[in-house]
Structure 1
């Protein structure tokens, strides 16, 4: 038994998830009547995610803001702004694609009495009330918008705290991430139960929506990587962006695709930045920072899965509400944790904009883990490769400005 466990551990999470997915399909097709002992695995997995997600968002955001240091170089403001613009642009692309190619999902246990918001005023009123919710109640009720708002407030307050206090916050944040990593290790069993339940109740047709969803997700990421990002780089550098784009995708994106961790890809990006001749004082700060807040792929994932849930529940979305969703997806993506599937845990924050219950949102998170073998890999590749790309683009702009000054002089 010990040998079996060791061999299973050495397989890695991606292979484990694939095995769990295949077993779920096989068991659903062969023994669909034996449902309860298997579907409980999916229920437990979703329940654990639902329990840890509010705590994760709270402490990650508080710690990140509290640890922020003043006095960074002036060009860091440009890089941070570019990170946010790139992430917001990715969210807009995802929202547009979701309206052009709407996807509906097979969700179990949907509340029969669920009422969609009647209009934008109701959405905005709900949003404002959620923002000022009691912080403890927000955590208990999984009110992610309230959690985010109070986390920002507490994070700003803790910026003036002592280093020892900030160290405690960092340690608590690390401990929560550790717990999340333990839960994520159970993903293969959870996915086995989720796939079994989906196929045994809805048949193989339920997997068609997953394939459509994955197509929209990957398609959006390709558009961002090969059209939106090159356009941003061109505006800054005023030269052909594709040599830089291709270099970053090849030397950073491919590695990130397989490691599925922006944090693990930091050394790769540092080496690539050195190879490109970038300013070390700049990239030594921008690359680690980008691994935290430059999350275009996460914005795509949050937006697409949120609107897939909205389409499934027949909620009407106005243009202005879609814009608010893009902003929320951007903020949520910047707070995504570095663990595999971290962006999926922030989907409830975006779905809460439409009054969607956490029970429904966490089912969508489970679906995200089913398709996560490719989705999370592509997301990380887009996130990590863009860190070097935007750092190089800002530096190219600064050099271009310096040349203009020299010419004018």
Structure 2
């Protein structure tokens, strides 16, 4: 009788089952159902759309409260140092990524022998001009930017509010300092509220992943990949090379690889399934906490990375541009290749981290290189398959930058809170040797 009473319920066992395995089961089952059942499996798409909507629902509140909390927790001088480092990291790795895509594609020549489709279909939405994107970072109305989902504008407003709150908390005026501490407690409560919702949404994740994968496989099928196998191989190979670059950088900065990938595997799988860097942001934030990264770093680097760091997408743009040129029978010049690199890096600033954003970047690169647009329709046919791996690369790059930059800042890496315990790793590298350190500003997230 005692055994029967103490036995956990089915729901409790589901909650205790590791998220990574639940997502893996959803991936495999969804792929199997999509391939076996075929077109009728596309009816599962609404279940996946529910999951994407839940994730997107969290993006704006998460960006707003975590950025204000993170920026107000550190001094403006330290914020300036972190900001410069993360921007340099993102721009350099994006330029490297698009170069990797171009070099691999030029070596393999994907698309050679294929004919351009007679009709290009509906063209992807063009990327906004760089000048317009930069001007749009400063919102005319921050509340309108929040309602419209303008991530960069919301980030600007949140950073401004966080800096002002940091000055309030360090003010010599006791009244202003007290009001600053009161506001900070409200922001901390908002952070905890959002993370509580995140934990609830993650319990639906396996169902959403199952539905999304089943719908994608039902629409494309194996046959749709065969004519474009070279392009698919180049993009996946380029992502493998780029992740190897991250591993090298992590090792160079003496970051424990087992601990890093032990925490990063959940957002990597989530990004692969959802094809949304912004949608994966709640899971990426949770992973950064498991790595022991202080919120003063991850609350700035992760939202920024989800918007401007598109390494996987840059690989895709480089490879797909060569593919389009081969299909059109055009030989790219060195000047055109350099333009593709420049446009790809700059366009990543203005494209959102959502499914299909890569087509916006690709359309801009193809137009700037002076190539015909019709072959883009061939790439669009397998965009979902390519989008999975490039989004995973984007998120991995965000987390790599976050952990590396945190390690270069004093007190920004500490023993992680139990938001999913990090495995004990004797001799795992610098992670295992770092002493616990309280986050700047004295704030520490409660266990999730």
Q: 1:232 to 1:321 in 2, by over 3 A?
A: farther
RMSD between aligned residues: 4.2
Distance in 2 between the 1:21 and 1:327 partners? Answer: 44
**Residue in 2 aligned with 1:231?**
248
| Cα 1:322/1:232, change in 2 over 3 Å | farther
1:388 maps to 2:367: no
1:172-209: CA deviation from partner (whole Å, max 9, x where unpaired): 457xxxxxxxxxx9xx79x96xx79xx9xxxx7x8533
Partner of 1:52: none
Question: Which residue of 2 is the match for residue 148 of structure 1?
Answer: 129
> Paired residue for 1:379, among 383, 390, 394?
390
Distance 1:356 1:210 in 2: 19
Matched, 1:366 2:380: yes
**Superposed displacement of residue 297, structure 1:** 0.8
* Aligned counterparts of 1:143 and 1:339: Cα–Cα separation in 2: 13
Give per-residue Cα distances to partners, 1:181-239, cap 9 Å, x unaligned.
Answer: xxxx9xx79x96xx79xx9xxxx7x853311211111111011112x22233344x1x3
TM-superposition CA deviations, 1:125-175 (whole Å, max 9, x none): xxxxxxxxxxxxxxxx99957x4134236426xx2x64xx3433554457x
Q: Report the CA distance between 1:279 and its aligned residue.
A: 1.9
Which of 339, 347, 356 is equivalent to 1:341?
Answer: 356
Q: Which secondary structure state, in structure 2, belongs to the residue aligned with residue 278 of structure 1? A: coil
Verify the 8 A CA contact 2:317 2:358 in the aligned structure 1.
yes
Aligned twin of 1:353: 368
Report deviation, 1:240.
Answer: 6.1
How many equivalent pairs are there?
288
Equivalent residue in structure 2 for 1:212, among 230, 245, 253: 230
* SS at 2:355 equivalent: coil
Would the aligned equivalents of 2:236 and 2:389 in 1 still touch at CA under 8 Å? yes
TM-score, normalising length from structure 2?
0.54
Q: Contact between 1:270 and 1:284, CA under 8 Å: does it hold in 2?
A: yes
CA contact (8 A) 1:230 1:241 kept: no
More helix by share: 1
CA-CA distance at 1:82 after TM superposition: 0.7
Give runs of aligned pairs for residues 312-351 of structure 1, distance below 5 A: 312-351=327-366
Residues 289-340 of structure 1: per-residue CA shift (max 9 Å, x gap): 1111111111111111111001222222233432221221222233332332
2:287 to 269, 272, 277: 272
Shift of residue 103, structure 1, vs aligned partner: 0.7
**Alpha-carbon distance, 1:345 to partner:** 2.9
Q: Are the counterparts in 1 of residues 116 and 374 from structure 2 also a CA contact under 8 Å?
A: no
Q: 1:297 touches 1:383 (CA, 8 Å); kept in 2?
A: yes
Q: In structure 2, list runs of 5 or more residues that go unmatched.
A: 1-25, 41-66, 151-211, 412-448
Query: 1:137 maps to which residue?
Result: none
**Pairing 1:37-116 to 2, within 5 Å after superposition:** 72-104=79-111, 105-109=114-118
Aligned CA distance change for structure 1 residues 214 and 252 (closer, same or farther; 3 Å): same
Structure 2 distance, partners of 1:299, 1:168, is 30
Q: Which residue in 1 is equivalent to 2:299?
A: 284
Change (3 A) 1:335 1:98: same
